[in-house]
A = this chain, B = another copy of it.
Amino acid sequence: MTVDVGAWLADERATVDAALERLLPATDAWPVRLHEAMRYAVFGGGKRVRPILARAACRAAGGDPARALEPGCALELIHTYSLIHDDLPALDDDRLRRGRPTVHVAYDEALAILVGDALLTEGFAVLARFPEGDDDAALRAEACRVVAAAVGSLGMVGGQVEDLEATGAGPDAGRLERIHRAKTGALLAAAVELGALIGGAGGERRREFLEFGCGLGLLFQIADDILDVTGTAASLGKSPGKDAAAGKLTYPAVFGLDAARRRLAELADGLGRAAAQLEGEGGVLDALVGYVARRDR
């Protein structure tokens, strides 16, 4: 199989957006302002990497990607909550996200906190409901367990705490890896693991998918760190150089830009080989590796 990546990603995004539209409470549901703001945050130009990854892993594991659609959307809701809370004045104090005012700027700080809370909760609501089959109950419970572990105090939230603590504290390679693994890596890895699980992968094969997901999470974060240095405001939808200005621990800051680029290329090569082993040559996981390594956000 060869993949026209651009067209395939556009198709995938449309499928994911339509599912998110169905899953979120209507804008006129009580309380209206909350539900408006939830949609403002979710439909803000996200690339939908996590749901697309979940569907790709499900397909690569031999399953029907349609079964991973809603669980993948749950991850997008949880990812969106994490961005809203990260952007708050008490945390990163970002006023712009993907070229638009952040939720606490467009609405207010109280609502931004509560919109994040609601989206995190809705993520688990969706994981608890899909796939809907009577035979899928064990899968749903396991999905809630896997995702909660990935985004809790030992995962994403822990990474955010360490990121705040490390800011301005000087370069530290071990700490950098711990932050990246937890803050962004864990949820991306969970997307791959969840998709593979829904696709029927168990035991050793599930572990191989998870390992691939961990590598992809790292690739994603190194690419992100490099883009903060090399991107333009138009391509990033936010000010470039923000991480460096804020004293954030990043790959270029710790290892230098050239070394970060070499690491990115090596990692992408290894992941391409792993993808080929998981799904055969030229499949969707390999296409995603290429996309993440070269993406222009």
Binding site for B on A (CB under 8 A): 25, 29-31, 33-35, 38, 81, 85, 88, 90-91, 108-111, 113-114, 116-118, 120-122, 124-125, 127-129, 134, 137-138, 140-142, 144-145, 148-149, 151-154, 157-158, 160-162, 164-165, 178
Contact = CB atoms under 8 A, between A and B. Distances in A.
Count of this chain's copies in the oligomeric assembly: 2
Given A90-B110, A110-B91, A140-B141, A148 B125 contact: yes
A145 B125 contact: yes
Contacts of A148: 121-122, 124-125, 128
Given A35-B153, A154-B29, A120 B117 contact: yes
**Which 6 residue pairs across A and B have the least CB separation, nearest first?**
A125-B148, A128-B144, A137-B138, A128-B145, A90-B109, A118-B153
Of residues A111, A120, A121, A128, which shows the largest number of chain B Cβ atoms within 10 Å of its Cβ?
A: A121
Contacts of A114: 85, 157, 160-161
Contact of A117 (B34, B85, B137): B85
Contacts of A30: 154, 158, 162, 178
Provide the main secondary structure of the chain A interface: helix
A153 B113 contact: no
Contacts of A153: 25, 29, 31, 34-35, 38, 118, 121-122
A149 B123 CA distance: 11
Contacts of A138: 134, 137-138, 141
Contacts of A134: 138
Contact of A33 (B29, B33, B161): B161
